[in-house]
Amino acid sequence: MSLLIVNAKIIPRPADPAVDALLIRDGRIRELGPSATLRARAPEATPLDAAGRYLCPGFQDAHFHFLQFARGLGRPWLDDCATRDDFRDAVAAAVARHVGEAPIILEGWDETGWSTPERPTRADLDAISGERPIIARRVCGHVGVVNRAGLALLRERWNGPGIDEDTGWLDEGPVVVLDNLLPPDRIEALEALERAGAVCHRLGITTATDYPHPNEVPLWPELVPHLPLRVTVWIRHPANERHVAALPRTDRFRSCGIKIFSDGAIGGRTAALRTPYADRAGGTGQLVYEPERLRAMVRAEHDRGRSLAIHAIGDRAIEEVIGAYEALGEDLTGRGHRIEHFELAADDHLARVRELGVIASVQPNFLRWANDGGLYESALGAARRDGMNRFGSILRGGGRICFGSDGMPAGPRLGIRLAATREPAAERIDDETGIRLYTEAAADATPGAPCRGRLAPGEIADLVLMEDLPSRSEREDVDVTILDGRVVWSREPATNARRG
Ligand SMILES: [Zn+2]
């Protein structure tokens, strides 16, 4: 089966400006060239007239929680709530709508925009129902709140810290692994994958990432034959060797390495800082591991030949992670080691990461919290806010970054737009660079990535067509998404005049 895309503005721009067409055969890119040349060469191919639209590799979201995102799509969302009353009303409506006894899990509240930005408590939920477990997770995924029955349920399944009986507040551990404490069965997981596939195709995502908890890993071999897009996984430390060995290796699925958390998140004030949060006297967040322990873990996984993706948001956590990588005492270029988020990095951190050959896996989508009066400013103050997520500085200094969304929210076009229009202007990334960071650079930061995110003969044909560059429109969906050489999403009906 052949598909010929003609009249396209190709990104990255080909050296020869006459090149505006791309021929696909059997799921792979065969040739790029001028439209007339390729038309004559492949008369049998189905034509797809791009009509001057942009053609680029399919987006690869280098930091995503695909299964959690997929399950979340089937849950009630609280991101529209503008006040605590809205929150209570939305939870009550969801409980009324979902008849039965099963726990109700709600996602995405964000009190930072509320008129009184206070965390909801157990009392808010107990007033709705004390008997049916209700668990509401904050948008950051690191903080939550439960009612009385929810507390009892979590107490059965979680022995660690992070549950406050009085307030019903959940911090870190039990929230981060919530989906694992309440795992899906096979049917729920397959339905979730189908829903998530449709959303990803619409956003132009052809490769997503997942960070499975060790207990979720045995579920993946059953899911792999049904994946609606490519998924690459980093398994949370400590991985079970037998389960890792049983993971399949296909064009749709790869296991890349190990994920370690070194701190929390800014929303929950758990990211580990060198100087206190602006709005909480004395609080500097928390490191997940003592520095010595982190170094030992990094050393052990590195010596096993594994790549590492280490979550570090605050400057104190970033310091510890860089220190652990430096303690390996070698050039890490080509080893696939990453630091996830790398948000509050200091000047010397930028230089040391470049020296090490470690990749910063950053989230332009988080810039939604960098607005005046927004979360980052209230948590850290304006000066520190302006020194975060310095994508422009990292690239100018010769460092390596890749883009991902962390699902907050998913959407490469949104992230590229935020990076292209942000303040301070010196840290902006133009559209074409942003596209590279969400395609080729994301693949390069993913050891064993089946699709390399490049438009060249022999490469897997994962592509998107867009009318505008991301910074020029508010649209988050793309016009056409092609996966393995087949159209999986088209904004217009397939019979539209644009298609031959
Ligand atoms: Zn994450």
Q: Pinpoint the residues of the chain covered by CATH 2.30.40.10.
A: 2-57+457-490
- Give strand pairing partners of 263: 287
Tens of pLDDT, residues 217-234: 999 999 999 999 999 999
- Enumerate the CATH 3.10.310.70 domain ranges in the chain, comma separated: 70-181
What digits encode the pLDDT tens for the residues 8-34? 999 999 999 999 999 999 999 999 999
Q: Which CATH number fits domain 70-181: 3.40.50.720, 3.30.450.80, 3.40.50.300, 3.10.310.70?
A: 3.10.310.70
Confidence grade of residue 401 (pLDDT, cut at 50, 70, 90): very high
Q: How far is the CA of 352 from the centre of ligand 1 (A)?
A: 23
CA-to-CA separations, 242 to 209, 239, 245, 257, in angstroms, rounded: 21, 9, 5, 15
In the chain, the percentage of residues whose pLDDT exceeds 90 is 89
Phi, psi of 86 (to 5 degrees): -55, -45
Domain span(s) for CATH 3.20.20.140 in the chain: 186-444
Cα of 310 vs centre of ligand 1, distance in Å, is 10
Q: Is the dihedral of CA 47, 53, 56, 61 positive or negative?
A: negative
Q: What is the spatial order of strands in the sheet that 169-171 belongs to?
A: 104-109, 134-138, 143-146, 169-171
Give residue 216's pLDDT: 87
Sole residue written with tokens 């991101």: 79
Q: What is the pLDDT of residues 232-258, one digit of tens each?
A: 999 999 999 899 999 999 999 999 999
Render pLDDT for 346-359 as a digit per residue (tens, 0 to 9): 999 999 999 999 99
| Arithmetic mean of pLDDT, 411-431 | 97
Cα distance between residue 76 and residue 95, in whole Å = 9
User: For residue 205, how far is its CA from the centre of ligand 1 (angstroms)?
Assistant: 17
Per CATH, the architecture of 186-444 is what? Alpha-Beta Barrel (3.20)
CATH architecture of 2-57+457-490: Roll (2.30)
Residue 363: is its pLDDT beyond 50? Answer: yes
| Nearest CA-CA partner of 344 in 321, 323, 316, 371 | 316
What tokens appear for 414 in the block?
């949104």
List the one residue out of 29, 44, 138 whose CA is nearest residue 87: 138
Cα-based distances in Å from 391 to 28, 344, 364, 395:
32, 11, 9, 6
Average pLDDT score over residue span 1-5: 95
**Residue 61 confidence (pLDDT) above 80:** yes
pLDDT tens string 169-219: 999 889 988 988 888 888 889 999 999 999 999 999 999 999 998 888 999
Residue that is written with structure tokens 């009318």 in the block = 467
- Ligand 1 centroid vs 488 CA: distance in angstroms? 27
pTM across the whole model: 0.89
Distance CA 135, CA 128 (A): 12
**Ligand 1 center–CA 364 separation, angstroms:** 13
Q: What is the pLDDT of residue 493?
A: 57
Question: Would you say residue 495 has pLDDT above 80?
Answer: no
Each residue's pLDDT tens digit, 69-118 = 999 898 999 999 999 999 999 999 999 998 888 899 999 999 988 988 89
Instruction: Give residue 91 CA to ligand 1 midpoint distance, Å.
Output: 25
